[in-house]
Structure 1
């Protein structure tokens, strides 16, 4: 019997990026598939649960193309090997995703947003979660914004781009993924910053962002302005770099605003968000590029592989950003509380506050699933 060919998450992403004609066949159950799946702008995906392949019913194969590569995906890689083998025996071109959705959830993809002789900005996209983190680099020094828990990604990046990580910041206390901020700072000797309002009554070792309205990175006095932008959480902070790039955390997204209800004070935080949008950020120029900490829709990735849009585009495309009526804005944003909350968000917040310790396996398991931090209001 031929051995099934396996493909890594990185290789799969490369194929997707090159626009190769592939079909992703997800053999998890329908609920899991509908909740969270591998997506790409040109990716075709279909769901036939694993058990259907055990029934020896030829109809199962009816919709599968013989002339297209099929990548079979399951939760952890076992069932997909089995199904890929069955397909191979029937003459289909198949691969099995090594490690399944678990491996996909741990894949991070770096892309350069901007570079000149003094400044480089890299966006690190964790595609399965829609989580974005950033490296801001100048003259061999670097600042990492919103790192996820797989800190090796950032250590490798620092080696590859020849910079020393001096600053690590979290824009807010994350609820949908485990922060790698403190661990990364400890491993590199960098300073770890977060707003003190986010972690009060904890034992975390941190430098309060509220005491630093500027952070210097290398030469450009990379004017990193730490702007308090409450709304998604009370201590949410955005970082304005050289008045041209706004790392907006979960305050402003390409297609929406951060949801204000994860602390149980939706109305109150929605009012803060109004103040942030219409007072604190209103005088930023339209050509300022917004680089958020999350995205919720694959369409938000542009043709250069970057999630980002100018403030002018966001203001123009997002009806809620134009709704200057405080009461109706607050109602609209607070109304998003009916959305499903991020999976396991209470435990993840407790880990990020330093109140709960879990082993690596449990940490990975807690993060499985999509992010749900955005409120989308197109119009």
Structure 2
């Protein structure tokens, strides 16, 4: 009978947010650990694979502190419980992440970005993948932008914030996670929008986003402008809310631009990205807050717990946003993409286009791992 202290993904997140240091003992294999781990500003991780603990080798324990609690983490929770019990017998303080990295991959957390008497804008962070979705709520009606796969989360969220989901938009065809948009639309009766360039030739039920200059609901002032911002994908669309907030999908990140190579047309898409940056986005003022669909580094989360930066800050810190030479820009963006492609991205794209249907367990499995949708310029 297991007697390890179990903590949920939510409790682990609270610990990470408490301002205290958190020590994680990750007992997965070294390559799994190096590929994807729990990260936080005050998180320190030690990796000692599970099999080492089966060998009763005392040297496995020499790095481990006796006076500090360790949260033991594995893929699904089982191995971590064994390790935690072994350690507890030797006098170490441990707890176990219940459900392991699988549970962490399914944890979503909301943070209010802005609110006034007319509307509320909330960023929903899926820490394990650096995926961000958004809810705009006004007069009991709401829009969800870039919903992730876990549809129940958004249904519960709408109950908790007391609004009806009426509009669901995907900023583009996602390659690194399965969109919850179509399933959420089916369950709520909401309208699902995506640019038709992203899903042409499929039987997905959607409204073509390019036919809507704005989507209004609730208070008339809540006007969501659909701004075509191709580059990461041909039909990428950003949403400008009240001229103040730009939900930029994967086109512009806090730390860079979306990678244009996932369609195998890096050169052409980089040209589109150039037009987006210098002809579309350049018309927006420096104080517009950019809220992307992803982030690649824990440092991009600001002190209020939000991933976002003003256009002014992004323009200042990204030389690529100032590189007005079209040829040089294209070279730089198309040439910067050396990082691995998102795992299983072809299968995920086929699911998001409605061409492939998989069992829920397979869907969860396909997404496990980090996101790789950004081009980084440090």
TM-score for both structures, normalised by structure 2: 0.99
Q: Tell me by how many angstroms 1:234 deviates.
A: 0.1
Alignment partner, residue 30 of structure 1: 30
Q: What are the within-5 Å matches in structure 2 for residues 362-373 of structure 1? A: 362-373=362-373
Q: Tell me by how many angstroms 1:222 deviates.
A: 1.2
3-state SS in 1 of match to 2:354: coil
TM-score for both structures, normalised by structure 1: 0.98
Q: Distance in 1 between matches of 2:297 and 2:71?
A: 22
Q: Tell me by how many angstroms 1:54 deviates.
A: 1.3
Q: Distance in 1 between matches of 2:168 and 2:10?
A: 26
Q: Distance in 2 between matches of 1:110 and 1:329?
A: 35
Runs of 4+ in 1 over 6 A off after TM superposition: none
Aligned 8 A contact 1:130 1:295 in 2: yes
Between Structure 1 and Structure 2, how many residues are aligned? 378
Alignment partner, residue 111 of structure 2: 111
Aligned 8 A contact 2:25 2:70 in 1: yes
RMSD in angstroms over aligned alpha carbons?
Answer: 1.0
Deviation string for 1:303-360 (max 9, x for gaps)?
A: 1111000000000011111111111110011013321000000000000001100000
3-state SS in 2 of match to 1:186: helix
Q: Tell me by how many angstroms 1:220 deviates.
A: 3.5
Aligned 8 A contact 2:9 2:107 in 1: yes
Alignment partner, residue 191 of structure 2: 191
Q: Distance in 2 between matches of 1:239 and 1:107?
A: 25
Q: Tell me by how many angstroms 1:170 deviates.
A: 0.2
Deviation string for 1:15-64 (max 9, x for gaps)?
A: 10112332100011111101100000111111111111111111111111
Alignment partner, residue 39 of structure 2: 39
- Are 2:51 and 1:58 aligned? no
Q: Distance in 1 between matches of 2:215 and 2:356?
A: 30
3-state SS in 2 of match to 1:198: helix
3-state SS in 1 of match to 2:337: helix
3-state SS in 1 of match to 2:260: coil
Q: Distance in 1 between matches of 2:54 and 2:16?
A: 29
Deviation string for 1:77-122 (max 9, x for gaps)?
A: 1110000001111111101111111110000011111111111001
3-state SS in 2 of match to 1:337: coil
Alignment partner, residue 299 of structure 1: 299
Q: What are the within-5 Å matches in structure 2 for residues 287-326 of structure 1? A: 287-326=287-326
Q: Tell me by how many angstroms 1:2 deviates.
A: 7.4
3-state SS in 2 of match to 1:351: helix
Alignment partner, residue 224 of structure 1: 224
Aligned 8 A contact 1:229 1:280 in 2: yes
Alignment partner, residue 67 of structure 1: 67
3-state SS in 2 of match to 1:361: helix
Q: What are the within-5 Å matches in structure 2 for residues 244-255 of structure 1? A: 244-255=244-255
- Are 2:342 and 1:345 aligned? no
Gapped runs of 5+ residues in structure 1? none
Gapped runs of 5+ residues in structure 2? none
Q: Distance in 2 between matches of 1:221 and 1:20?
A: 42
